[in-house]
Amino acid sequence: MKTLIRQGTIVTAQEEFVGDILVEDEKITAIGQNLSAEADQVVDATGLYVLPGGVDQHVHFSFTYKTARVRGFETSNAAVVGGTTTVIEFVNQEPGKGIAESIKHYEQQEVLGTAMADYSFHGIVFEATDAVFEEIPSLPEAGIPTLKLFMAYKGFPYHCDDEAIFRALKASKGTGVTIMVHAENADVIDVLQKECLSRGQTEPYYHAVSRPPFVEVEATQRAINLAILAEAPLYVVHVSAKEAMEAIRDANTKGYPIYGETCPHYLTLDTENLAKPDFEGAKYVCSPALRSEEHREALWQAVNKGWLNAVSSDHCGFDWKEQKHLGFGDFTSIPNGAPGLENRLGVLWTQGVETGKITRSKLVDLFATTPARVNGIDHCKGHIGLGYDADLVLYNPNHHSKISWQTSLQGVDFNTYEGMEQIGRPEKVFLRGKLVVDEGKYIGEKGQGKFISGKPFGLSYQGV
Ligand code: URP
Ligand code: ZN
Ligand code: ZN
């Protein structure tokens, strides 16, 4: 099957130019001007931007918070309709099982036959045992070069202390495995939460009060110090505070392989959302908490300068009526996390490109190219180039819409960006050469997604 995509403006992380792309079966086989190949179908992309399919390196299709569990891979078509063709899911370590074994089991039970986007995985440490640390060097053999530990969430089964973080970092040294951390000081949050509750401060807004920026800054700085001590790379997920970003930037500037990402909600939304009446504020309960304009502006500067190198959704499909309401009367029981898988490209384009905060090439870098590299899947994903998977988004910049949960495929009863104007949309999306979105509508099949094996050394220890 040959598809010729003609006269689109092709955007990569380095450049943009008008040209043609030839796709043969699943791969890009030619890029150029006026390609004359015989094709089974010709797509006129005049006036459209052709972007590489997005790589969302921070997705939760299996996260649990107390008794609540997010929507799973049956909603992964939301990624595709939003221009993300590869998702990287954080998989829970199962009791008594190793990391790779837990991931294999999860894939067999919940992903195979269901996934509608291509996918890769990160492990999550639940049981910080010798066996887990001993397993770390062999994770790349299973195509898993990344492992996350939660410094936050005291009392939850996935909380890890400094000993676990440090041992994981030490075990990863020289192996090509990247340790990722959710950096917030769990003990301080616990004290502040209890103080709020004892004063009768139970509403969603107190989620932010009990998680001020410095609980994130302190933990980020600590994780950086532990990584430097262990001589290992570190990736800090969902950075939201200016000073946490600056700590990462400064360590990186000194030559340490310390990196981080942020998320669309930290770039565009405000703490004040948590104060919305009638428990609406619960929709914005995610960790770290939403911040103020000062932090948002610093984050835009950071993504523009490359101080944070990716923008990920941190998608969590908890619904509001049932699941967020588990925390009615006690904000600490509101499931943490916000949906956003479908909106990453639209929000970045509208709030970033259209406002002049970032260029289209920078968007591609943050949305696809660098996350592919960080996770070792850049041999086939995240770029428009010869031999790459034909994951292509034809973005129509002239379409105007309003974001709404009612038109979303995320499968939850609210949208984090409800009512936000969106400029442009993915008009067509190809997943490995197959048309899966047409005229902005998902037309793919259940189970079409395939596992993409990650290679080690996405972050290498250069020069230190
Ligand atoms: O609030 C959040 N971010 N929930 C998802 C789990 C995590 O902490 O990444
Ligand atoms: Zn987290
Ligand atoms: Zn997360």
Tens digit of pLDDT for each residue in 423-443? Answer: 999 999 999 999 999 999 999
Nearest CA to ligand 1 atom 8: 287
Q: Average of pLDDT values for 383-406?
A: 98
Give the per-residue pLDDT at 464. 38
Say yes or no: CB of residue 373 within 6 Å of ligand 1. Answer: no
Report the residue among 332, 336, 341, 412 best suited for mutation to probe ligand 1: largest number of ligand atoms under 8 A from its CB.
336
Answer yes or no: is 434 within a domain.
yes
Q: How confident is the model at residue 459 (pLDDT cuts 50, 70, 90)?
A: confident
Q: What are phi and psi of 98, to 5 degrees?
A: -75, 175
Model confidence at 183: pLDDT above 60: yes
Q: Are residues 244 and 333 in the same domain?
A: yes
Q: Is residue 405 part of a domain?
A: no
Same structural domain, 142 and 34: no
23 and 95 in a single domain? The answer is: no
Same domain, 220 and 316: yes
Closest residue by Cα to atom 5, ligand 1, is 337
The number of the ligand nearest the C-alpha atom of 338 reads: 1
Q: Are residues 32 and 120 in the same domain?
A: no
**pLDDT one-digit tens code per residue, 92-134:** 999 999 999 999 999 999 999 999 999 999 999 999 999 999 9
Q: Ligand 1 atom closest to Cα of 58?
A: 9
Contacts of 153 (CB under 8 A, 6+ apart): 159, 182, 186, 287, 336
Beta strand pairing status for 27-32 and 16-24? antiparallel
Cα–Cα distances (Å) from 403 to 17, 189, 415, in that order, read 30, 33, 8
In a domain, 462, yes or no: no
* Torsion of Cα atoms, 168 then 180 then 147 then 283, to 10°: 130
Residue 21: which CATH number? 2.30.40.10
59's enclosing H/E stretch is strand 54-60
Above 80 in pLDDT, residue 462? no
Residue 382, ligand 1, Cβ within 6 A:
no
Q: Report CA(50)–ligand 1 centroid distance (Å).
A: 31
Same domain (yes/no): 86, 19: no
Task: Specify the CATH number for the domain of residue 307.
Answer: 3.20.20.140
Distance 439 CA to ligand 1 centre (A): 32
Q: Whose CA is nearest to atom 9 of ligand 1?
A: 314
- Say yes or no: CB of residue 286 within 6 Å of ligand 1: yes
Q: Is residue 43 part of a domain?
A: yes
Looking at residues 395-411, what average pLDDT do you find?
98
Domain presence at residue 166? yes
Using pLDDT thresholds of 50, 70 and 90, give the confidence band for residue 463: very low
Please provide the distance, in angstroms rounded to a whole number, between the alpha carbons at the two ends of the chain: 48
Residue 249 alpha carbon to ligand 2 centre in Å: 20
Mutation pick for ligand 1 pocket among 158, 287, 318, 333 (CB with most ligand atoms within 8 Å): 287
Q: Tokens standing for 84?
A: 């993300």
Q: Which residue's CA is the nearest one to ligand 1's atom 6?
A: 337
CA distances from 56 to 66, 264, 346, 405 (A): 25, 12, 14, 20
Is the beta carbon of 316 within 6 A of some atom in ligand 1? yes
Q: Are residues 309 and 435 in the same domain?
A: no
Averaged pLDDT, 316-324: 98
pLDDT in tens, 265-308: 999 999 999 999 999 999 999 999 999 999 999 999 999 999 99
Same domain for 241 and 162: yes
Does residue 57 lie in a domain region? Answer: yes
- As a whole-number percent, the residues of the chain with pLDDT over 70 amount to 99
In this prediction, residues 219-243 reach a mean pLDDT of 98
Nearest CA to 82 out of 357, 390, 432, 422 is that of 422
Question: What distance in Å separates the CA atoms of residue 111 and residue 99, rounded to the nearest whole number?
Answer: 16
Mean pLDDT of the chain: 97
What's residue 36's pLDDT? 87
Domain holding 44, by residue range, is: 2-51+383-397+423-442
Q: Is the Cα torsion angle 404, 407, 409, 412 positive or negative in sign?
A: positive
Q: Are residues 262 and 359 in the same domain?
A: yes
Residues 303 and 438 in one domain: no
> Does 227 share its domain with 88?
yes
**Bridge partners of residue 402, in order along the sequence:** 421
Q: What is the pLDDT of residues 54-95, one digit of tens each?
A: 999 999 999 999 999 999 999 999 999 999 999 999 999 999
